[in-house]
Amino acid sequence: MSKTLLMPKATAVWLVENTSLTFDQIANFCTLHPLEVKGIADGDVATGIKGMDPIVSGQLTREEIERGQRDANYRLRISESKVDIPEVKRRKGPRYTPVSRRQDRPDAIAWLLRYHPELNDSQIIKLVGTTKPTIESIRDRTHWNSPNLTPKDPVTLGLCAQSELDAAVRKASDRVLRERGPIAVEEDRGGTLRPAEETQSPEVTAANIFGQSSIVPPEAPAEEDQEIDEDKVFAKLAGLKRAPSEEDEDESR
């Protein structure tokens, strides 16, 4: 971890006023341009800035300054801090939201609840930096400003990035599919096909598979024209004429 000089311009002012170090040495130690250090010496730069003693602040030793004054090519090195400052770790919790945008959070929560119901409360908290009671009040319409809420995309409001929203939605969708099980996954993919032994059976037709009656009965073969025997036809007609009907017999009696 590189060490950074505290208040470099104020330190440069003190070194110019209290040492015989060259402008290049001071510029290198304070991460400034040599011309800027020359301007400090001439009174054109850093006017009104009070010099800060790097020896008192523990950033430079007197021996290091004397070594630099004896050798113009020597580069001063910042001293090791005697106090071990632990690295500050980011505390897990809601995202910090600027004061100017906090009034937009309820609208963003309403948008997420409407268009992405698969997101759980912890994901919404992480996206827009809110609290669980606020989410529940907006979901139950018990929020104090519920009648005036207008769902708005949190990305357009500047509360989160589009990549963060996409990642949260993808993670939530995968979780929902795992909870519903493999059957739900197959349904989402469009169902499954019937087994081959069913579809390839000779008894199975399109009507059996799709549940519709599409079988068309074959047309009966047309009867072949037969030759008419005229003698038989006339003989049959003559027999009908000769046979007396029952009504005729009753009248004759």
* Number of independent structural domains in the chain: 2
> Residue 1 has what pLDDT?
42
Instruction: Show which of 143, 163, 180 is a domain's final residue.
Output: 180
Q: How far apart are CA 166 and CA 222, in angstroms?
A: 70
> Residue 16 has what pLDDT?
92
- Domain of residue 106 covers 99-180
> Residue 142 has what pLDDT?
93
164 and 120, same structural domain? yes
pLDDT tens per residue, the chain (253 residues)? Answer: 446 788 899 999 999 999 999 999 999 999 999 999 999 988 888 778 888 999 988 889 999 999 999 999 999 998 876 655 555 555 555 566 666 677 899 999 999 999 999 999 999 999 998 899 999 999 999 999 999 999 999 988 888 889 999 999 999 999 988 888 655 545 554 444 444 444 444 444 444 444 444 444 555 555 544 566 667 766 776 666 555 555 555 555 4
- Report the predicted TM-score, pTM, of the whole model to 2 decimal places: 0.40
In a domain, 124, yes or no: yes
CB-CB contact of 12 with 30 (8 Å):
yes
Q: How far apart are CA 161 and CA 157, in angstroms?
A: 10
The dihedrals phi and psi of 47, each to the nearest 5 degrees, come to -65, 130
In a domain, 198, yes or no: no
In a domain, 116, yes or no: yes
Q: Please provide the size of the chain in residues.
A: 253
On the CB side of 178, CA atoms within 13 Å amount to 6
Instruction: Show which of 50, 70, 90 is a domain's final residue.
Output: 70
Instruction: Show which of 180, 195, 220 is a domain's final residue.
Output: 180
In a domain, 125, yes or no: yes
